[in-house]
Structure 1
């Protein structure tokens, strides 16, 4: 390769790696797996080794991790949180050992799993947890203290009052918690995380610590960064010290006195991958003696005393026997390949998701072909490619109708998935009922997922309308439902018959229609009958409605199944009229309010409801388009910005006068 060719490839690789770093470290949404990324990185290193004059300060090889986000306050790491140099073969591990032995005599190593999560620092003063941060770029991370407090395996108080201690660990999500989270995301019509690492990173960066607490995160601590009041001389000693203080430390680490022992342990950990219950992507080999580590030092990016061995993804070939179409709780049709059984990452695999029609077409997948399989994130089997010469005929085509209900399926603009839009589709009923009963929808107190599961199992409910036909004698047969609670639930369901129309519209689960959109609809169309008669043009004319939203509403009310469901709800006595002020008499129509501070006699949610009741909008941020800022005590930056922009600021008393 001449220099010009090397320069072109170098620039291309820098761009690709920078893009994938952004997706991985910042957006928690990687588009390629670790092995593909590692190969790109290795190729870049090879070019830089051959043409060192091409290396620039902003090369990915000169950086650690990704930049800290602006979501949280920055934290400068007093002890850099370094990355590790990677090895991909046992020969490279022997090279690492030779480099170590050139600097120190008779090194002893510690081998431990390389956890696939998010690296963090935990700081303690007098035994109390005071601050936690992400690695970021190794020098500056993000302050995520409150979110780390929400993780049960992060000690809030150590067993001894150590004056100061900083440790490094890896926040991870177990396979069990990951699968539960994906099920909840699917239920809420959210895009599920791709793997446990992304889920852990995304969960730790939540603005609300309660969300972090609900995600089932855990941590393994594996390094002492700084310590006062304690003398530690080796890594093995430090791990035992950390365990004594109450930290979660892996039981899988081993002290090895030769490279034969190191390589044997690396192989053993690799064989365990499929049975650990959490994801690892390699093993880490560290010099045990701290004084030897000091002699070895670090490069600009990596410590010379540690090496990461990355396990290649295990891949197997298998013949595709059949393709099954499953209808998810959100109506998405998902094709699943049925394969001849093979062993992957310690378990037998005979099924793998085929994602959607685009994926099938791109890979050229057809029944009878031989495919290369692997496990994404060591959990979910996936198809990597199709073996050339095994394809017979055209790629498989997804059905035009729903296999669950026979209704039409649609592919909306910008989406890869086919979706059944029948509101009475049996496959979607569980998710529909949970949404129908939720707080912002019909708000049926006492009707949670566990009760709904039992109602469906006993075939007491086949549509939301059936909820209004339930009797206490039927409910008392359910688990943990006595006479009193059965009667209370029936009364709770009956009470929702009188809800305003916007709640019913939202409860119907129309695609792209949230609570605010439902209120806009019922502000323009005063009854369910008006909505059935509304044209696409009339719906599109509503301020704040986009084309996709309008099309979704029009298509939903054109379905025969919608008319049938509404008819049953009407017969059950559910209100079909809007009780909010109409647009014609709404005094706040066209006005945008921003609320800030503590109001004297009402909550901000109560004030927001009044604004919306009279046709206005409530925004979370102040701009030149803001009509009024309703400010209470301890109003902060929003009040300052309103004054800077000249936006009218009103008190609660003035707001109430506007309502008189």
Structure 2
């Protein structure tokens, strides 16, 4: 047998043994014999390096140590999907799509893996970078760990793939491998993981890639991103990436209509327990990329995809007490303290009750026996009460009327479910939570100021408001007298505070913790108003005129800036050097021929829609997200959604072709 044949034979054998051991948990060879074969393969590869396979079992051992995971911004945001547990909501989803793009479309159904989302970039056929989802806009670079996963190609065989592309997938651990490893942890006196997903997630966060390599992970790939669109449909792209050597689920299905989707969901609801890994539902995507583009996105989720989640396991336990948490916006949330019970692999002691309406809906009484479920949420929730076990004379649970933290009378706005404590300047949990939000990774990202440190500094009287963070440099002596505050940690913290002054305006605005102002809304407000002065002076009407800013957000801003204490805080932070103006980027326009004109692009064109958008903006025009009386032109291509056409016609909005658009230039 030639060296080439020996290498190929050993490689195939070892891959099969890895699969038997890690996935099936049914080894057909001893560890000693496996190691002997691995050493034999390594020796042959060393002797004949030109024959070595980049995907060889000898190359998956890790060994690099990552001191700190680098944060990387996603080129394409990793958005979550909208969830539903209801077939009727799926039918409603289908009807919304039909209204928008007509009846001529298909769906792709995929298993919803219960794992860790991962984005991988390939350059010239080689794995260049792997990044976790993180907050959807930036995540951790875990490339060295992902390189150890056997089903992730480090180098692709020659093929028709582009020089550069990004591929998304889910890292998971198979059930039998999880059970085997968890048993080993228990034998060694280590804490067991609750479920395979937690084990996979914990493994990805390890800093030693050699340890990651010893833990069997798998990865299914399910979405391709390229600079230039290579395929017309998602289904075509799945077949292509499978051909390129990626691990794609064999259970994906192309469906012609919603009835086929519902059959697929019903099939896997019963059969999911036969799989070697956990799934918690089905993902449904519109197949055509042009139609996906036509449907677009909301601020948080794509309109062309949804996930159907299977109902979670339920258990029965005793309600011991209802306590109340006060959040940073002042919302008072009831939480049920429960008699501990095992649910979906974890011991549950608490469950969310959402708001006063939920307590009334459940008709909760003291000491009730309740049904608890984990319905896709981190915190379990009470589903219903077993009234047959209710104790005679049990008192109904009465929602509190005053803040449990500061005693202020609670308020409830018309049309809202939550009660709020209005004492945002003197209610301890609100103040602490606001500061914790401000210094957090998604906002100002201040190193050395964690949740516990904020709590400690508040209790010591060194922090009472967000602006006090920038005065900490003047309290060095007080800081050194505190337990666990060494000179190095104080220096790191003060350096982190100083660096945060360079964070852009949208991060500062988000960090202020104004009710309803999330990251996306903060970016839109900053892009429109440019400075805090203009934002503070904006009227309700001027705010709602901004794209995607509704009445609720506008009212919240008006009320926030009407409070003198808030204006004083902002003024103090401005004096400390924080950024309250957008960084002006010089934009060189090709012309101003479309200045003051607004456009929506809908349908498919010979040019890409991105190119058309750039042409409009480079000539002074503005792109809107929805059809309204503010719109000047609808640029219509093939397969345009009937709903947009109907609305534009009703509002007498001029409908032009891409050719007519170019004629305007």
**TM-score computed with the length of structure 2 as normaliser:** 0.41
Q: TM-score, normalised by structure 1?
A: 0.42
- Greater radius of gyration (CA): 1
| Structure number with higher relative contact order (C-alpha < 8 Å, ≥ 6 residues apart) | 2
